[in-house]
């Protein structure tokens, strides 16, 4: 937890094309090593829609996987802890009481892309962490767009770094088609409201304090 908390304390705030926070050195070396060795493989092929929900290339840190993989349990417990939720509430001006934690681990290869989109309104916070097992990369981050869906910038995808934002109708982001050498691993952490329908994806229990 200490490294996660420190990464939040030392965040860098960016205001364009929307407000977001850059965080670095998020996980300890031991947790990072466990994460990149989770048994997740990319799909054989990608669809033409540019959407996540139709690509089977991920696992969720739900109750089953938290029992199966110790690293899933540790990370879920960290982001459910009061120290972390309190820091995020202060940084982003959001109330997380009564919310749920949803953590997805994604592995992608060349051919992956995502249309510019904004997150569902039931997502209160989105955190993306970039992971790499075989070789470091810094040019495969998330593409950020303006209100006209024109590319403004791409976040750094340096190992063990990430960015945080509070979803809104202007938080357009995606992943333009580009060459991916090796595998692109990301951990996507969301705090979601009680209206989230796919309960089988969620960490347990509900966040209360």
Q: pTM for this one?
A: 0.95
DSSP 200: G
DSSP H or E stretch at residue 164: strand 161-165
Report the chain's C-alpha Rg in angstroms: 16
pLDDT at 84: 98
Q: Does pLDDT of 55 surpass 70?
A: no
CA–CA–CA angle 156, 127, 93 (5° rounding) = 115
Q: Set out the domains of the chain in order of their start, with CATH numbers.
A: 2-196 (2.60.120.620)
The answer, yes or no, to whether residue 22 has pLDDT greater than 60, is yes
* Predicted confidence (pLDDT) per residue in 146-171, tens digit: 999 999 999 999 999 999 999 999 99
Task: Give 208's pLDDT tier (boundaries 50, 70, 90).
Answer: confident
What is the structure's pLDDT at 107? Answer: 92
Tell me how far apart the alpha carbons of residues 24 and 3 are, in angstroms, rounded to a whole number: 9
């Amino acid at each position: 937890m200490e490294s996660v908390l420190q990464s939040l304390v030392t965040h860098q705030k960016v205001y364009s094309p929307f407000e977001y926070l850059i965080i670095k050195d998020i996980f300890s070396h031991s947790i990072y090593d466990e994460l990149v060795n989770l048994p997740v493989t990319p799909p054989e092929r990608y669809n033409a829609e540019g959407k996540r929900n139709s690509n089977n290339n991920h696992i969720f840190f739900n109750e089953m996987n938290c029992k199966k993989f110790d690293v899933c349990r540790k990370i879920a417990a960290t982001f459910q802890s009061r120290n972390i939720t309190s820091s995020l509430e202060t940084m982003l001006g959001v109330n997380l009481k009564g919310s749920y934690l949803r953590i997805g681990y994604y592995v992608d290869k060349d051919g992956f892309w995502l249309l510019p989109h904004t997150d569902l309104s039931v997502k209160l916070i989105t955190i993306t962490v970039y992971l790499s097992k075989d070789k470091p990369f810094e040019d495969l981050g998330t593409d950020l767009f303006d209100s006209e869906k024109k590319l403004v910038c791409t976040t750094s995808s340096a190992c063990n770094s990430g960015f945080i934002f509070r979803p809104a109708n202007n938080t357009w982001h995606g992943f333009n088609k580009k060459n991916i050498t090796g595998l692109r691993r990301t951990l996507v952490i969301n705090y979601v409201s009680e209206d989230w329908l796919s309960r089988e994806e969620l960490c347990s229990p509900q966040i209360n304090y």
